[in-house]
Amino acid sequence: MDKLVIEGGVPLTGQVTISGSKNAALPILFASILLSEPTTFTNVPMLRDIHTTLKLLSILGCPADFDNNVVSMTPCTLSPEAPYELVKTMRASVLCLGPLLARLGEARVAMPGGCAIGARPVNLHLSGLEKMGARFELEEGYIIGRCRKLKGAHIIFDFPTVGGTENLLMAACLAEGDSILENAAKEPEVVDLANFLIHCGAKISGHGASIVHVSGVSSLGGCSYPIMPDRIEAGTFIVAAGITDGELVLQNCPSEELDALLVKLSAMGMHFENTKEGLLARRRNGSLRGADVRTQPYPGFPTDMQAQVMALMCLAEGSSVVEESIVENRFMHVQELARMGADIRLSGHSAIVRGVGQLIGAPVMASDLRASASLVLAGLAAKGTTQVQRIYHLDRGYERIETKLAAVGARIRRKKE
């Protein structure tokens, strides 16, 4: 297993290019199961989760070439089974369920199981698909779904589930009749999926708002589609500029999708400027102040930025309260930050962070994707050496992060453990 070795204390300066969005690319790639024609995707990030998705799609009958951030997909004869060996490594594999039922009328998808950040059930996916006529059984850890032909339905989500909205959106595109998805997720990645499906001939309206309308069509063609930039990678590099007291310019930064984050970071003392090269991010006048954060569905503060901003709060003056209201166990980074001298107290779904003058480098353990990012950020600011172990978590969602960080001055290198 690899680790990252970081000598902290260097203010990062320069330009960073933001890659394609993992959380847009994953559902869009799974949507290719719906298509009857070849399709090309550009700006696809070279990530572990993308490779896992392409491996799974190849098993399902959608083989693809992946070169230089371009995926060329050729749909073949579909197979209904998504094997446990792959699904257990990536929860988003459940996104093949809706498309398989829509195309084949059957699906055998291993239950995703929990992950480091919680049980993360898929009940809302299943109940929505049942309303469209699917029937499910659970057999030896596999979700077995069957339907004659999915029918359009009016689905009201208990919670604006991102994956649930994406699964149902894809299923509804080929269902018989019209569907309404109410209390749908509004995340930009859901909108990117809808835009891709529309490019392929789907009839969707209202995406990006709470009520989405879909009129089923008999088939979907192919197209060439660019994946949107990754707002969470962008947010992570913005925090990197703040935590090291440097100045970064982010090219391809989707600033308009980061309002809740930028408002909060401005309140903490960061400065932002739109330049012709991209979004400039730095501290306003040297010091940072604590702030309170509650994670919420989009357009609220993104849960995927909670761990990274907590690292910044560790070095801000005063206290911050972080309430994680979306994901049940997303404070795995707290104990590791404490090993570096952070002062954080957990109380239920909240963490109280008291700013300290300095963090001290230490060996720390990555546990999930965004917790790993938080530890890298803390290491960039800490005095001395930080070793972040098990960085395969990080490779799931960040394309060449150490190369990008080193290019703007970080003393960081990957080592075999």
- Of 25, 311, 327, 401, the one binding ligand EPZ (CB under 6 A) is 327
How many residues in the shown chain lie near ligand EPZ by CB under 6 A? Answer: 25
- Of 326, 365, 380, 381, the one binding ligand EPZ (CB under 6 A) is 326
- Of 133, 254, 361, 397, the one binding ligand EPZ (CB under 6 A) is 397
How many secondary structure helices (H) and strands (E) does the chain include?
14, 24
How far is residue 212's CA from residue 14's CA, in Å, rounded to a whole number? Answer: 41
* Shortest distance in whole angstroms from residue 369 CB to ligand EPZ: 5
Choose one: 6-14, 118-126, 193-201, 356-364; the region binding ligand EPZ (CB under 6 A).
118-126
* Shortest distance in whole angstroms from residue 166 CB to ligand EPZ: 7
Token pair in block for residue 92 = 């988003």
Can residue 159 be called a binding residue for ligand EPZ (CB under 6 A)?
Answer: yes
Closest CA to 181 of 217, 208, 202, 220: 208
Query: How many CB atoms lie under 10 A from the CB of residue 140?
Result: 8
Can residue 23 be called a binding residue for ligand EPZ (CB under 6 A)?
Answer: yes
Can residue 120 be called a binding residue for ligand EPZ (CB under 6 A)?
Answer: yes
Q: Which residues neighbour 288 within 8 Å (Cβ) at sequence distance 6 or greater?
A: 242, 268, 269, 270, 312, 315, 316, 317, 355
Contact 359, 321 (CB under 8 A): no
Choose one: 36-44, 199-207, 262-270, 320-328; the region binding ligand EPZ (CB under 6 A).
320-328
242 CB-contact burial (10 Å; exposed 0-12 / middle 13-18 / buried 19+): buried
Quote the distance between the C-alpha of residue 342 and its chain's center. Answer: 26
- Of 79, 123, 219, 287, the one binding ligand EPZ (CB under 6 A) is 123
Within 86-115, which residues bind ligand EPZ (CB under 6 A)? 92
The DSSP 8-state label assigned to residue 11 in this structure reads: P
Q: Which is nearer to ligand EPZ, 303 or 374 (CB)?
A: 303
How far is residue 377's CA from residue 316's CA, in Å, rounded to a whole number? Answer: 14
Whole-number CA gyration radius for the chain: 21
Can residue 328 be called a binding residue for ligand EPZ (CB under 6 A)?
Answer: yes
Can residue 122 be called a binding residue for ligand EPZ (CB under 6 A)?
Answer: yes
Give the relative orientation of helices 188-199 and 22-31 as an angle to the nearest 10 degrees.
30
Can residue 229 be called a binding residue for ligand EPZ (CB under 6 A)?
Answer: no
Choose one: 18-26, 257-265, 307-315, 384-392; the region binding ligand EPZ (CB under 6 A).
18-26
Indicate the residue whose CB is closest to ligand EPZ. 163
- Of 121, 141, 177, 318, the one binding ligand EPZ (CB under 6 A) is 121
Q: Which is nearer to ligand EPZ, 123 or 403 (CB)?
A: 123
Question: In the annotation, is 115 catalytic?
Answer: yes
Q: Which is nearer to ligand EPZ, 133 or 164 (CB)?
A: 164
Token pair in block for residue 209 = 């708002």
Q: Dihedrals φ, ψ of 50, to 5°?
A: -70, -45
* Shortest distance in whole angstroms from residue 269 CB to ligand EPZ: 26
**Largest interatomic CA distance in the chain:** 63
Can residue 125 be called a binding residue for ligand EPZ (CB under 6 A)?
Answer: yes
Pairing of strands 39-42, 224-226: parallel
Closest CA to 279 of 12, 11, 10, 18: 18
- Of 161, 244, 306, 387, the one binding ligand EPZ (CB under 6 A) is 161
How far is residue 342's CA from residue 102's CA, in Å, rounded to a whole number? Answer: 49
Choose one: 130-138, 154-162, 278-286, 349-357; the region binding ligand EPZ (CB under 6 A).
154-162
Catalytic-role residue among 115, 200, 253, 314: 115
Q: Which is nearer to ligand EPZ, 259 or 317 (CB)?
A: 259
Within 340-369, which residues bind ligand EPZ (CB under 6 A)? 369
Choose one: 38-46, 130-138, 155-163, 307-315; the region binding ligand EPZ (CB under 6 A).
155-163
Q: Dihedrals φ, ψ of 93, to 5°?
A: -60, -25
Can residue 393 be called a binding residue for ligand EPZ (CB under 6 A)?
Answer: no
Give the relative orientation of helices 332-339 and 369-381 as an angle to the nearest 10 degrees.
20
How far is residue 207's CA from residue 187's CA, in Å, rounded to a whole number? Answer: 9
Question: Mind telling me the catalytic residues?
Answer: 115
Positions that interact with ligand EPZ (CB under 6 A) = 22-23, 26, 92, 118, 120-125, 159, 161-164, 189, 303-304, 326-328, 369-370, 397
